[in-house]
Structure 1
Amino acid sequence: MTILLPAIRDNLVKKRLLILGGTGDAAELAVRASQIADIEVVSSLAGRTQQPFTPKTGTVRIGGFGGAAGLAAFLLVSAARPYGGYANGEDRPIDFLIDATHPFAAQISANAAVAAAECNVPFLMLVRPAWERVEGDRWIEVAGYSEAARALLGLSQRVFLTIGRQELAAFAGLDAIWFLMRAIDPPALNSPIPNGKLLLARGPFSLEDERQLLLEYQIDTIVSKNSGGGATYAKIVAARELGIPVVMVQRPPIPDVEQVADVAGAIAWLVKQL
């Protein structure tokens, strides 16, 4: 019992931060937040990619919560307990919640807003700024993937499809178009995908490499999410230089909650909460 007392005391002093992650920003945030003496970091990854951005510090859990209700239950009595929980064996609640998921992870963001409000847990969204059209861009802005597929009809013959693996089915019926599809992981077995070639790769990608890719495969149109950030922006610059149109899928709505644009802003918010 004497040996456990320091760990228990440390456990009771620290505030618990849950980071909804899976992005590079979330991994960086976990590292920087762990450097704050009063913070214990728990990172949650959805588990949808085989090689996610895994934080190099803190506790990591993988898998969904079971909707807003499941997340609320986790916030109130967390199942992650690297120090072994309270002295009486109970788990501890989460004190702060930061959503640093991908801008297109609309459902988890909505669930997080509901759960945080229900549990009265301070909640922040780290939302990287969206890309903005500049002179020379030939964007066709669409609200979703079905609209993006329709926009290609009569416009394209060879398309660079950079929307990840989960939305490929929306383009599977466009048999007259050849697709170069880039994703981090392969699509699920037996899921419908369009005709073409699949490339497995993770950014960041250089401008030189993106330009060469477009030229090598004779791409005449790009389909992209407006993900923001620098890791995949080079394809947008390359398209601008080559005069290639980009069908740009706009972001889904996000909850009306407090937001910051970068990790530094999230750290400042966290320190203010303390």
Structure 2
Amino acid sequence: MKTKGRIWLIGGTQESAQLAAAIAEAQLACTVSVTTEIAKQLYVSSIERAENYAPLRVWVGRLTSETAAFFLQQQEIVAVLDASHPYAVEISQLAIAITTQLGIPYLRFERPDWKDEGGGMKDEREKGQKKGLVFQSFAELVATDILQGQRVLLIVGYRPLALFQPWQDRATLFARLLPSVTAIEAAIAAGFTPDRLFAMRPPISPDLEKALWQHWQISVVVTKSSGIAGGEDVKRQVAAELGIPLVAIARPPITYPQQTSNLTTALAFCQEHLSPANKPKT
């Protein structure tokens, strides 16, 4: 039997915006959680379309083990659809723990790996592994000398940048970041000078990506294995065109209770556990 309540969509990604739109279109009540006001803008159009029939809320903030249970109760959450970034390990682990504890259904929406979406790219990845260009963690990468003397572009988000601070005297480091105060401050604290930072919200076109790498005379690029949704296909395309090694950091290993990469399956999960919120007004 379906129950009244809300879906908790853990958002902040492009695919979560697509899921929010589909959930709203299905007239299901949903609360999307994001960590910044900027990320909230991903859902503006979905909110506008849903306001007359399906309450779609966007909650901004960071949840902890102390506040998560209250959040679930306050929002009347009956099921969780986790569409957070593949590297947002903390929120996924928290959601898994609290839903297991409270017996709330959980489904992970995992963006496909680029090799699954890119077909023939799998062979390229295997070649990269043989060359040692795929690392399991940032710590593993910085423990090698692969960046020694290189002009390195880091497209990894702001959180790992502190790990590269000791490399500021051993390589010439650049970073492409989101245009946020937090990101810029973190980069400066890690030893990056303003002339070695480029702040722009994705998607980044191949032409712009290529122009940036050429302008900075980049010789090595470090990125995350974030899939096509994270622009990994563009980076690999440009790297191949310019003959620049692309160092990829593998996704953190997490065991999800259940997961899918199919939007239809994710929507069916929401419909299974939630009855339509408000019918369209006539």
Q: Same fold (TM over 0.5)?
A: yes
1:55 is paired with a residue of what secondary structure? Answer: helix
2:99 corresponds to which of 116, 130, 143: 116
**1:7-41 deviations in Å (ceiling 9; x for gaps):** xxxxxx7431111111111122112101223x211
On the 8 A contact 1:22/1:53 being kept in 2, the answer is: no
1:177 and 2:176 correspond: no
**1:23-62 deviations in Å (ceiling 9; x for gaps):** 111122112101223x211111123x75555322211111
> Matches of 1:130 and 1:148 in 2, distance apart?
20
CA separation of 1:191 and 1:154: change in aligned 2, threshold 3 A: closer
CA separation of 1:45 and 1:154: change in aligned 2, threshold 3 A: closer
> Matches of 1:154 and 1:21 in 2, distance apart?
34
On the 8 A contact 2:114/2:228 being kept in 1, the answer is: yes
Match of 2:17 in 1: 27
Q: What letter is aligned with 2:29?
A: E
CA separation of 1:17 and 1:44: change in aligned 2, threshold 3 A: same
CA separation of 1:232 and 1:23: change in aligned 2, threshold 3 A: same
2:247 is paired with a residue of what secondary structure? Answer: strand
Match of 1:103 in 2: 86
Cα offset, 1:268, TM superposition: 2.6
Match of 2:216 in 1: 217
CA separation of 1:154 and 1:251: change in aligned 2, threshold 3 A: closer
1:166 and 2:159 correspond: yes
* Larger of the two Rg values belongs to structure: 1
On the 8 A contact 2:14/2:229 being kept in 1, the answer is: no
**1:49-88 deviations in Å (ceiling 9; x for gaps):** 7555532221111112222x5323322x12x4xxxxxxxx
1:74 and 2:71 correspond: yes
Looking at secondary structure, tell me which structure has more helix per residue: 2
Out of 262-271 and 196-205, give the one that drifted further. 262-271
Cα offset, 1:194, TM superposition: 4.1
Match of 1:36 in 2: 26
Q: CA RMSD in A?
A: 2.4
> Matches of 1:116 and 1:220 in 2, distance apart?
45
Out of 105-114 and 145-154, give the one that drifted further. 145-154
Percent identity between matched residues is: 27
On the 8 A contact 2:147/2:220 being kept in 1, the answer is: no
TM-score, with structure 1 as normaliser: 0.80
Out of 233-242 and 192-201, give the one that drifted further. 192-201
Aligned length: 246
Q: What letter is aligned with 1:74?
A: F
Higher relative contact order (CA 8 A, sep 6+): 2
Match of 2:110 in 1: 127
Cα offset, 1:237, TM superposition: 1.3
Match of 1:187 in 2: 184
Match of 1:3 in 2: none
Cα offset, 1:155, TM superposition: 4.8
Cα offset, 1:149, TM superposition: 2.3
Q: Where in structure 1 are there 5+ consecutive unaligned residues?
A: 1-12, 81-92
Out of 240-249 and 126-135, give the one that drifted further. 126-135
Q: What letter is aligned with 1:65?
A: L
Cα offset, 1:219, TM superposition: 1.0
Q: What letter is aligned with 2:62?
A: G
> Matches of 2:184 and 2:147 in 1, distance apart?
27
1:18 and 2:16 correspond: no
1:237 and 2:237 correspond: yes
